[in-house]
A and B are shown apart, each in its own frame.
Chain A
Amino acid sequence: MLVNGREMEYKGGITISSLLNDLNLDEDKVVVEVNREIVLKKNYSSYTLHKEDKVEIVSFVGGG
């Protein structure tokens, strides 16, 4: 699957939670888009990503 334009491979799919964990991202500080649809945090642990999925993740840092 494509994550922020980069190809990544996971056998048998991976949940959004595990992907964020893998990328060292905090699920409280991100916006996740799968195939242009926003997925909310409450669904990260149940949403399984597949190889044809296009994922965009925007993560935020503090300061303003």
Chain B
Amino acid sequence: MVKIKIFLNERPLDVKDGTTAFEIKNKFKRDADIVVLNGFIISEDTVLKQNDKLTLIKRGEIPSKDELEALMIARHTPGVHEKVKKAKVGIAGLGGLGSNVAISLARIGVGKLLLVDFDIVEPSNLNRQQYFVKHIGMAKTDAMKELISLINPFIKVETEKVYIDENNIEDIFDDVDIIVEAFDNPKAKATLINTVLKRMPNKTIVAASGVAGYFSNNAIVTKKIRENFYLIGDEVSEAKPGCGLMAPRVSIAANHQANTVLRIIMGEREV
């Protein structure tokens, strides 16, 4: 009898050649109503192949921590998860851009996130930043660490409550591969980007400029300025009286940043 190896809930399992996904379901978890094969939910039975990854989920059942990790991994596209899990990304500023970037990167399973911000959550942040009313008064680093633990408890999160300036940038971001510039202040943006480009040639920086208002979605673009510098935004829409920052456009830009980070991790350097 020929056997093949598959992975059931991320654990190796030898099965008879020709076994189908639903046969495994009926044997191991008959009440599962979601069957994920190689990162994709299937509704029709399929014959399993060597190294297939099969995950069985019962809707609404709260899994143990071990099981949860297997179930979350199952939804990450194979080949992506392994790389993303090894990545280390620093996020400079946890406002409208940074809080959205942090959550997207946590959801896709970026292994280590370094969150840097000196500020606390204020009521005026709630129009666009990913915090809750209960976080008001709390350091943004602590609030974001808590939110990430509620979304994906398998992410390693490090925090630094510090004001970033040209004297501490190299120390703070020494251990990460990619730096996300997510500041509000344009002088702070320039300081961080100049310092990284000049003194940290092995890092890549993903920055943003021009995200205010409710101008066209499609004015927000991702540009590759040089080998290790990407810039996202429309480059002109400045936050000022009469042209505020709002959740939709800021999070469009933030997720351009997050997807750029993902593409860099996956070796896609072009925009």
Is the pairing of A and B real? yes
Q: Interface size for chain B: under 10, 10 to 19, 20 to 34, or 35 or more residues?
A: 35 or more
Roughly how many angstroms separate A43 CA and B189 CA in the complex, as a whole number?
A: 19
Does A61 reach chain B (CB closer than 8 Å)?
yes
Given contacts A63-B239, A64-B97, contact A58 B225 (CB under 8 A): yes
Given contacts A61-B236, A64-B183, A64-B184, contact A38 B198 (CB under 8 A): yes
- CB <8 Å contact, A63 and B236: no
* Chain A residues with CB below 8 A from B98, complex form: 64
* Chain A residues with CB below 8 A from B225, complex form: 31, 56, 58
Does B175 reach chain A (CB closer than 8 Å)?
no
* Chain B residues with CB below 8 A from A26, complex form: 186
- CB <8 Å contact, B226 and A36: yes
Number of A-B contacts (CB under 8 A): 75
* Chain A residues with CB below 8 A from B212, complex form: 61, 63
Does A2 reach chain B (CB closer than 8 Å)?
no
Roughly how many angstroms separate A40 CA and B192 CA in the complex, as a whole number?
A: 12
- CB <8 Å contact, A29 and B211: no
Does B197 reach chain A (CB closer than 8 Å)?
yes
CB distance from B183 to the nearest CB of A (A): 6
- CB <8 Å contact, B182 and A64: yes
For B183-203 the 0/1 string (1 means CB < 8 A from A) is 111110110011001100000
Given contacts A36-B226, A40-B198, contact A61 B190 (CB under 8 A): no
* Chain A residues with CB below 8 A from B109, complex form: none
- 30 A-B pairs in the complex with CB atoms less than 8 angstroms apart: A28-B186, A28-B190, A29-B187, A31-B190, A31-B193, A31-B194, A31-B225, A38-B197, A40-B194, A40-B198, A56-B225, A58-B225, A59-B209, A59-B235, A60-B189, A61-B186, A61-B237, A62-B184, A62-B238, A62-B239, A63-B96, A63-B209, A63-B211, A63-B237, A63-B238, A63-B245, A63-B250, A64-B93, A64-B98, A64-B182
Residues of chain A touching chain B, judged by Cβ–Cβ distance below 8 Å, are 26, 28-31, 33, 36, 38, 40-41, 56, 58-64
